[in-house]
Amino acid sequence: MKNMISAAIIAATALVGAEASATNYSLWIHGRNGNTTQPGNYANFSYWGPSTTAAGINKKAVNWNGTQRISVENYRVRDALDCFCTGANWCYIAAHSAGNLQIGYALSLYGGSTRSVRNAVPNSSGVCGTTGATQVGWNIKWVDVASGAGGGSELANMGDWATSEPLTSDLVTSTARAMYNHNTTRSKWFYMFAGAKGTLYSGTLPGQDDEAVAYHSTGGVSGTGGFCNPGNLFCDGTLNTGTAATSNGKALWSYHSVSLRDDGESYDHYAAGNWAGIVGPVRNDMVTYAK
């Protein structure tokens, strides 16, 4: 499916090439952290790994205060989308963990709003200059999600994370799922990469997990539950790949598809400052398709 989408967009871009010079960008939206990144600095990849590592065409780091509530910091994501994904420019999006909530929130609540077309030249605050034109929503090809926390995490439910961080409240499963309509993606596909190398919190997280988020969230399942790889016992059902519902009939959110189910239990949650864990397969996918 992703090959077909990319080919169609490339063809469409070629048709309008004589009228406008289009540039494609790869935006990387990080998850929960100790506010160690630099909001507004699109060149700071410290959350992910070496900035010299290939990670899709014209990569930009969408940094925000990873301790604060999604609603408070979402303007940072919208600034980036306005900067690089309006006018003749198009974006590929990669998100990790709570970055899934950030892009989902932006698309659901603001993706149908009128946006000012920007010139892709950011100031020190990460805001780009205006061109005088407007458009509805953003030019986004698709979204790759590494260990998405769009459905929240039981670690937040149980208080296993620092409760002094406002973001922890948003990551409670019931809160995350009620924050916005996850089915409203403005017809943008979310490709989910779900890791399963989880051991530390196996008693807290249901089904398969990557030590921070369980399959019900990382797989984009519309309901909570303990979902696993094929053949695993004591689970509510199997997380299927693609757009299929789980084996016990729980549907995925609209425009969500499982691209990677970690049958080998090889990928944990953490980028570890070196494009590691479940971020690795997403980076490879961006290198392959974000062109």
pLDDT in tens, 93-108: 999 999 999 999 999 9
In whole angstroms, give the CA distance from residue 82 to residue 102.
Answer: 15
Pair 41, 126: CB distance under 8 Å: yes
Looking at the predicted structure, is the pLDDT value of residue 215 above 50? Answer: yes
Average pLDDT for 215-220: 98
pLDDT bin (cut points 50, 70, 90) of residue 4 is low
pLDDT of residue 17: 40
How many of the other CB atoms lie within 10 Å of CB of 200? 13
Average pLDDT for 2-24: 57
Query: Across the chain, what does the average pLDDT equal?
Result: 93
The more confident residue out of 8 and 118 is 118
**Range with the largest mean pLDDT of 18-32, 33-47, 150-164:** 33-47
Q: Which helix (H) or strand (E) holds 74?
A: helix 70-84
Q: What is the model's pTM? A: 0.93
pLDDT bin (cut points 50, 70, 90) of residue 203 is confident
pLDDT of residue 271: 97
pLDDT bin (cut points 50, 70, 90) of residue 236 is very high
In whole angstroms, give the CA distance from residue 284 to residue 158.
Answer: 34
pLDDT of residue 19: 40
Looking at the predicted structure, is the pLDDT value of residue 67 above 70? Answer: yes
Pair 210, 198: CB distance under 8 Å: yes
Least trusted range by pLDDT, from 10-14, 130-134, 204-208, 223-227: 10-14
In whole angstroms, give the CA distance from residue 287 to residue 257.
Answer: 19
pLDDT of residue 18: 33
pLDDT of residue 95: 99
DSSP-assigned letter for residue 77: H
pLDDT of residue 35: 77
Average pLDDT for 242-251: 98
Looking at the predicted structure, is the pLDDT value of residue 10 above 60? Answer: no
DSSP-assigned letter for residue 29: E
- Cβ neighbors of 284 (< 8 A, separation 6 or more) are none
In whole angstroms, give the CA distance from residue 151 to residue 252.
Answer: 11
Average pLDDT for 40-58: 97
Least trusted range by pLDDT, from 77-86, 102-111, 131-140, 231-240: 231-240
